[in-house]
Amino acid sequence: MNFIQSIILGVVEGLTEFLPISSTFHLIVTSRLLSLPSSDFIKLFEVVIQSGAIFALVFLYLKTLFQDKKLLMNVIYSFIPTGLVAFSLHNVIKTVFFENNLLMLTMFVLVGIVFLVLERYLHGSATHLSKTCVSMSSKQAILIGFAQACAIVPGVSRSGSIIVVMMIMGYKRDESAKYTFLLSLPTIFAASTLDLFQSRAILTSMTDGWLLIVVGFIISLVVAYLVVKWFIHYLGTHTLAIFGWYRLVAAALLILFRVLP
């Protein structure tokens, strides 16, 4: 890996981590387009730049989370099913799901279709999205946690699955995105901590490559910070349709140019 590749991956992670388009899917595709091997260093690099993205949320939302006890408890309720599913299937996720091109591409397309169908239904019905995170019950929080657990398959997207389920429950799009970000704090932190622990031998033995990791981390943090602020504002006045169309067009191009499957 060189510095240009480090910057590109940092930008891709920052752009896609909190948008409903699956950051894992985009990192896998980008690594292949850059002809990067699936090495231990690359895997470690991806974990670290994902940690950079989570630091953007620390700056934006950590204070909010700890100032609202009910909101904090709901985030914990949501995290529990996600944590249980992810921990129990961790090896399967890394060795099976991440290697199945057809599965990833299929889920990427299907979720895009779900976005378009849901927004079409909401546009043509009397359903009104009016709920805010304040009105969330513990049962709803747990259900949202199971929805997030679906994102263990690359291509689904944590934010996409959460926002869809919350919209079905009647929550505003921007409130759904906000809750996604809050839930990302324990979710990504736990996942990154586990991955870093399992990569501890690489960390202790690595003699070079640190500058590449630092560059990717900083780029990811800055880009993610800007994306989060933009996304909340965007969903205040727009729908998810653009992300549904993006998924379909991107999938078509990947198939056309034989990048996937």
User: Using one digit for the tens of pLDDT, what is the confidence trace for 60-76?
Assistant: 998 988 899 999 999 99
The residue ranges of every structural domain in the chain are 3-256
Q: Is the pLDDT of residue 126 over 80?
A: no
Rounded CA gap, 134 and 63, in Å? Answer: 16
Average pLDDT over residues 152-175: 95
Residue with tokens 């895997």: 43
* pLDDT higher than threshold 80 for residue 91: no
Say yes or no to pLDDT of 261 above 70: no
pLDDT band at 196 (very low <50, low <70, confident <90, very high): confident
- The residue count for the chain: 261
Could you read off the pLDDT of 14-35 as tens digits, one per residue?
A: 999 999 999 999 999 999 999 9
Q: DSSP labels for 97-164?
A: GGG-HHHHHHHHHHHHHHHHHHHHHHHHSS----B-GGG--HHHHHHHHHHHHGGGSTTS-HHHHHHH
Q: How confident is the model at residue 90 (pLDDT cuts 50, 70, 90)?
A: confident
pLDDT band at 124 (very low <50, low <70, confident <90, very high): confident
Please answer whether residues 194 and 28 qualify as being in contact, where contact means their C-beta atoms are separated by less than 8 angstroms: no
Q: For 180-213, b where at least 16 C-beta lie within 10 A, e where not — what string?
A: bbbbbbbbbbebbeebeeebeeeeeeeeeeeebb
Asked if residue 261 has a cis previous peptide bond (ω within 30° of 0), the answer is: yes
- Read off the pLDDT of residues 198-243 as tens digits, 9 standing for 90 and up: 888 887 777 788 999 999 999 999 999 999 999 999 999 999 999 9
Instruction: Enter the pTM of the model.
Output: 0.93
Residue 25 DSSP label: H
Tokens (6 digits) for 246: 């993006």
Is there a contact between 50 and 220 (Cβ–Cβ < 8 Å)?
yes
Q: Which residues of 113-151 are buried (b: 16+ CB within 10 A; e: fewer)?
A: ebbbebbeebeeeeeebebebeebeeebbbbbbbbbbbb
Contacts of 258 (CB under 8 A, 6+ apart): none
For the residues 64-92, what does the mean pLDDT come to?
A: 91
157 contacts 111 by C-beta, under 8 angstroms:
yes
